[in-house]
Amino acid sequence: MVNYNTTNSNLTREICNFSKKISKGLKRPILKFVSDMVYGILASGSSLITEIARNLNENIPLIKTVNRLCRNLQDFSDEEKSIVEENYLSSIKSSYDDKSVIVIDGSDITKPASKKLEALCKVRDGSTGEIGIGYHTIGAAVLSKEKKLPFGVYSRVYSSEEADFVSEDQEMINYFKFLSGHFKKSNIRTMDRGFDNNRYYEYFIKNKENFIIRAKKNRNVIYNGKTQNILDVANMFKGKYALKFKNKDGKKIDVKISIIPIELCEFKGTPLNLVVVHGFGELPMMLITSLSSDDKNICVNVCKVYLMRWRIEEYFKFKKQSFDYENLRVRSLQSIRTLDFLLTMAIGYVSKLSDKDDAVILRFEIISVSKRLFDVADFLYYAVADGIFEVLKFVKRSISSFLVPPPNDGQLRFAPWAA
């Protein structure tokens, strides 16, 4: 049986220690703001500032807490964000290595009933496929070494209606530059068909970074010295290697895989590989990659790496469902970006708790109170987040006591040489 007093005390201390670690180098008021937001998001399971404020249990009127959080969301500077970002990436560095997969994807925040939010733009709602209003988002997650759990490493909200907006391509290039500055070239950048873009290929090829990109069927490639449609090339090969795959719904699928040396028409002289996978649908799945090896299993490994992409889809889904992300109510784009950033940091704590071997006891206690209807899924985040919420709802004191150093007890101390 879980001792809630002990568990919520240990969990609160762990969250505050995590917050202090990622806030190292910030002034104390900003450290307290970051800690309040990370703790409040996890304790409330919400992106609403009022719910976050209620769970801070401050002994002042709620409106004052809300106003303070909103003011700090607006005033949080790029320099402060950069400090937190660097500290966070340092804190998760042991969870991945130079070969870990970086999964890259775009998403959206839809706000169909909003009229007052800043710089609302047209977006394609990924849930319905319809065009609505809201914001575009870009996200990246690095998969951990052992459990292949996604650790969010980049998140940005942007709008095509911003005054300084250049283009979606430029947003993506800035995004790739961030990854280049923080990860090795050997980390495999893995992307869906939306990234089948010559400008992106140019960036990765020029910087000699490993990548796997799913190709669109209308792309032309050079095979055996001739320019041909990529789908025609793919259909020449029926699959030399076999892979038994279990999808996220538990269904077993037998697929056949081939690897074909190609060049892109725009980058002649740069050898690439086309990995063709038959079995997922009527048309083959086509993956263009810079990876090469004499190992005959390279094509199977490329396929396995790409299929890990569903982890970031689960990550986005978790972010929206467990923290009511699309229900955010702050108006300015700067506040939305800060809230999104701090939500990514809060989910980073969930990732660390789910992945750390030295947190088994605390994780077990948290999951045991998460009230799962069925067994805990491989994607632990839902159970861990629900358990954190269940444990922290019993906390009735402010977290400030965990952030300040213990008071001086007033005991007279003698110098060592006076003894």
The mean per-residue pLDDT over the stretch 39-64 comes to 95
Return the closest-CA partner of residue 108 out of 87, 89, 123, 91.
123
Task: Give yes or no: residues 229 and 293 share one domain.
Answer: yes
Residue 383 lies in a domain: yes
Residue 62 lies in a domain: yes
The mean per-residue pLDDT over the stretch 40-51 comes to 96
3-state class (DSSP) for residue 183: coil
Task: Give yes or no: residues 223 and 269 share one domain.
Answer: yes
Residue 392 lies in a domain: yes
Task: Give yes or no: residues 295 and 220 share one domain.
Answer: yes
**Contacts of range 8-11, beta carbons closer than 8 Å, 24 or more positions apart:** 8/391, 8/392, 8/394, 8/395, 10/362, 11/362, 11/366, 11/388, 11/391, 11/392
In angstroms, rounded to a whole number, what is the distance separating the alpha carbons of residues 232 and 274? 12
pLDDT in tens, 349-406: 999 999 987 667 788 888 888 877 777 777 889 999 999 998 888 787 777 777 766 5
Task: Give yes or no: residues 243 and 286 share one domain.
Answer: yes
Q: Which of 71-80, 233-242, 243-252 has the lowest mean pLDDT?
A: 243-252
The answer to whether the beta carbons of residues 66 and 52 sit under 8 Å apart is: no
Task: Give yes or no: residues 338 and 393 share one domain.
Answer: yes
Beta bridge partners of 18: none
In angstroms, rounded to a whole number, what is the distance separating the alpha carbons of residues 273 and 299? 9
Task: Give yes or no: residues 337 and 271 share one domain.
Answer: no
The mean per-residue pLDDT over the stretch 140-153 comes to 93
Task: Give yes or no: residues 271 and 225 share one domain.
Answer: yes
In angstroms, rounded to a whole number, what is the distance separating the alpha carbons of residues 164 and 170? 11
Residue 318 lies in a domain: no
Gyration radius (Cα) of the chain, Å: 24
**Domain boundary, last residue among 303, 319, 347:** 303
Task: Give yes or no: residues 225 and 272 share one domain.
Answer: yes
Question: Mind giving me the DSSP string for 131-179?
Answer: EEEEEEEEEEEEEPTTT--EEEEEEEEE-TTSTT---HHHHHHHHHHHH
Please check the confidence at residue 418 and state whether its pLDDT lies above 60: no
CA 385, 388, 394, 396 torsion-angle sign? negative
How many distinct structural domains can be found in the chain?
A: 2
Residue 40 lies in a domain: yes
The token pair that represents 285 in the structure block:
């799945």
The mean per-residue pLDDT over the stretch 312-326 comes to 91
Q: At residue 153, what is the residue type?
A: V
pTM: 0.90
Residue 159 lies in a domain: no
Domain containing residue 296: 215-303
Q: State the pLDDT at residue 413.
A: 57
Q: At residue 295, what is the residue type?
A: D
What distances in angstroms separate CA 341 from CA 109, 283, 355, one per listed residue? Answer: 14, 38, 21
The token pair that represents 50 in the structure block:
């009022």
In angstroms, rounded to a whole number, what is the distance separating the alpha carbons of residues 194 and 107? 11
**Domain boundary, last residue among 250, 284, 303:** 303
Task: Give yes or no: residues 336 and 263 share one domain.
Answer: no
Residue 397 lies in a domain: yes
Confidence band, pLDDT 50/70/90 cuts, at residue 270: very high
pLDDT in tens, 92-138: 999 999 999 999 998 899 998 888 899 999 998 877 778 999 999 99
Confidence band, pLDDT 50/70/90 cuts, at residue 296: low
Task: Give yes or no: residues 228 and 298 share one domain.
Answer: yes
Task: Give yes or no: residues 350 and 273 share one domain.
Answer: no
Question: Mind giving me the DSSP string for 70-113?
Answer: HHHHHH--HHHHHHHHHHHHHHTGGG--TT-EEEEEEEEEE-TT
The mean per-residue pLDDT over the stretch 147-152 comes to 93
